[in-house]
Amino acid sequence: MEYFSNRAESGVQRVAQPTAVEKKKKDPAKRLAKRRFAGFPAMKTLAPRMYRDRVKSLYDGPKGAGLAIASLVSMHSPLVGRMFRRRDFDVTTAQAILDIGSGAGQIIKHLVRCAPENAHIVGIDISHQMLKRARKQIPSHRPVLITADMTHLPFPDETFDVITCGYVLEHLQDPMPGLLEFRRVLKPGGRLLMLVTEDTVPGVWTSRTWKCRTHNRKELHEAFVAAGLPWRDQKWMTPVHRFLKLGGIVFEAEKRELAAS
Ligand SMILES: C[S@@+](CC[C@H](N)C(=O)[O-])C[C@H]1O[C@@H](n2cnc3c(N)ncnc32)[C@H](O)[C@@H]1O
User: Where along the chain do its domains lie?
Assistant: 48-254
Fold topology of 48-254: Rossmann fold (3.40.50)
* The predicted structure's pLDDT at residue 29: 44
- Decide: helix, strand or coil at residue 156: coil
Residue ID of nearest Cα to ligand 1 atom 2: 103
**51 Cβ closer than 6 Å to some ligand 1 atom:** no
**133 Cβ closer than 6 Å to some ligand 1 atom:** no
- Report pLDDT digits (tens) over 124-149: 999 999 999 999 989 889 999 999 99
Residue ID of nearest Cα to ligand 1 atom 10: 168
**170 Cβ closer than 6 Å to some ligand 1 atom:** no
Question: Which strands, in side-by-side order, build the sheet including 160-166?
Answer: 144-147, 120-125, 96-100, 160-166, 186-196, 249-254, 231-235
pLDDT band at residue 1 under the 50/70/90 scheme: very low
pTM of the complete model: 0.86
**106 Cβ closer than 6 Å to some ligand 1 atom:** yes
Distance 23 CA to ligand 1 centre (A): 37
